[in-house]
Amino acid sequence: MPKLTIAVAKGRLQDEGLALLENAGAGISSAALSSRRLAVEDETGSYRLIFVKPADVPVYVEHGIADCGVVGLDILLESGTDLLQPLTLPLGICRIVVAAPVGVSLSDRGMLRVATKYPRIASAHFGAHGRPVEIIQLSGSVELAPHLGLADCIVDLVETGRTLRDNGLQEIEVIGTSSARLVVNRASYQLKAEAIGALLDALKAALKTNA
């Protein structure tokens, strides 16, 4: 079978993702893990894992440089890429929410200023409700924006809600739930069908054992 290249999102999902892959028979030696190499082979030699920033996972997979990837739905929605999603993985589960400072009402504004790392998701959400918004794209510390007057509210990812509370924000609305997805390139899916089928089966079996 041809070797599969799997792009794994660094950061939030990385450890959980690697643990799942290990249970599915794509384990990485601890030596390779502790090195700083960004492309490593698994111990069976069937897979090559590459570690890239979450937002770059869909890019590598869409171009077919990686055959598959493990990435959060939030990143996937934001990227607008055309990828197959044959498997939902119960990793990195969180909510995508609209949050505003405690005590502030958003309903009486003619237009909202929304600070977010997810401009596409935010604009689709408010667009669907016919609400005019100005999207202010930030790359981090989004929770600060409403307090400093940059925005009226934020759209962000929430896992426990602690960061929101600590920064005096409250959830107004849940836009959706995000968890990790296995994404696959359309051409690889056909051309390496056997290898991808084997990976899907192994992941499903690993998920069943975990549950």
**Considering only residues 157-186, where is the footprint of another protein by CB under 8 A?**
184-186
Q: Provide the angle, in degrees to the nearest 10, between the axes of the packed helices 14-23 and 193-210.
A: 100
In the list 87, 106, 135, 198, the residue contacting another protein (rule: CB under 8 A) is 87
| 191 near another protein, rule: CB under 8 A | yes
Instruction: Pick between residue 64 and residue 132 the one whose CB is nearest to another protein.
Output: 64
Instruction: Pick between residue 165 and residue 186 the one whose CB is nearest to another protein.
Output: 186
| 81 near another protein, rule: CB under 8 A | yes
| 119 near another protein, rule: CB under 8 A | no
In the list 86, 119, 161, 168, the residue contacting another protein (rule: CB under 8 A) is 86
Minimum Å gap between C-beta 81 and another protein is 6
Taking contact as CB under 8 A, which single stretch among the options 20-28, 49-57, 59-67, 151-159 is the one that binds another protein?
59-67
Looking at residue 40, its amino acid is V
Taking contact as CB under 8 A, which single stretch among the options 3-11, 56-64, 101-109, 154-162 is the one that binds another protein?
56-64
Tokens of 85: 């999603």
CA 180, 170, 139, 106 torsion: positive or negative?
A: positive
Tokens of 116: 């977010």
Tokens of 172: 């107004």
Minimum Å gap between C-beta 161 and another protein is 26
Bridge partners of 71, per DSSP, are 181
Minimum Å gap between C-beta 89 and another protein is 10
Tokens of 201: 């089966």
Residues 91-129 as b or e (16 or more Cβ within 10 Å = b):
bbebbbbbbbeeeeeeeeeeebbbbbbbbebbbebbeee
CA distance 125 to 7: 28
| 116 near another protein, rule: CB under 8 A | no
Residues near another protein (CB under 8 A): 59, 62-65, 81-88, 184-191, 193, 197
